[in-house]
Amino acid sequence: MKPVIAAAALLSVVLLPGCFSVLPEPFTPSALIALPADRAKAPSVALQADVAVYSPESMRAYAGVDIAVRNAQEVIFLSDVRWSDNAPKLLQGAVVDALTKASGPGRAVPAQVGADVDYDVRWRIVDLSTGPETSPVRVEVQVSLLDSVTRRTVAQRSFKAEGLPSDRAPRARAAALAIAAQDVADQVAAFVTETAVAK
């Protein structure tokens, strides 16, 4: 009888953990915010050279899928809404999309492709955040155009954009930030076409 009880007790211990999980439920945001290629604006100046666009450097608060909110001296994150990919990758893609729409013989590629190009676009995210409630959203980047052979800086500039969300809802604030981010990406693309001369 004792072996039967021991076996039953052992069986219940083995099967019991399969009935429940100690892991938290995965978070599913109500919306994912992207920078679609069809919103990219073609620069007015033709692209005369081949360029590689690097993913921008950023502080940790802007490096992931969470959307940063400026709140006095701290940075918190929007609840329930996320970027569709990490923010630097989205901005990189938005600049490449805009440059791809430019006229001229030049081409633009993400740096990860490893193509032989004339110039490199290196940049850094200074700000990519919403404010509390209906405060303005802000996007600011610093951009350098480098000669891909000499590694010398050809041109440098900062770009920024602001916008106002339609209401205080996280979705509205994230949408306003996405519009400002696309505006900055278009400005960066225009800067590249203006400064990347043919070789």
Q: What is the mean predicted confidence (pLDDT) over 37-42?
A: 96
Q: Cα separation of 89 and 86, whole Å?
A: 6
Model confidence, pTM: 0.86
* Domain edges within the chain: 2-195
* pLDDT digit string, tens, across residues 97-118: 999 999 999 999 999 999 999 9
| Pairing of the two strands 119-130 and 66-71 | parallel
* pLDDT digit string, tens, across residues 88-101: 999 999 999 999 99
* pLDDT digit string, tens, across residues 136-188: 999 999 999 999 999 999 999 999 999 999 999 999 999 999 999 999 999 99
- Residue 19 confidence (pLDDT) above 60: no
CA dihedral 20, 24, 28, 34 (to 10 degrees): -140
Select the more confidently predicted residue: 35 or 71: 35
Predicted confidence at residue 20, as pLDDT, reads 59
Predicted confidence at residue 176, as pLDDT, reads 97
Q: What is the mean predicted confidence (pLDDT) over 117-146?
A: 97
What 3-state class would DSSP assign to 100?
Answer: helix
Predicted confidence at residue 71, as pLDDT, reads 85
Q: What is the mean predicted confidence (pLDDT) over 75-90?
A: 95
Q: What is the mean predicted confidence (pLDDT) over 122-131?
A: 97
Say which CATH architecture domain 2-195 belongs to: 3-Layer(aba) Sandwich (3.40)
Q: Cα separation of 73 and 107, whole Å?
A: 42
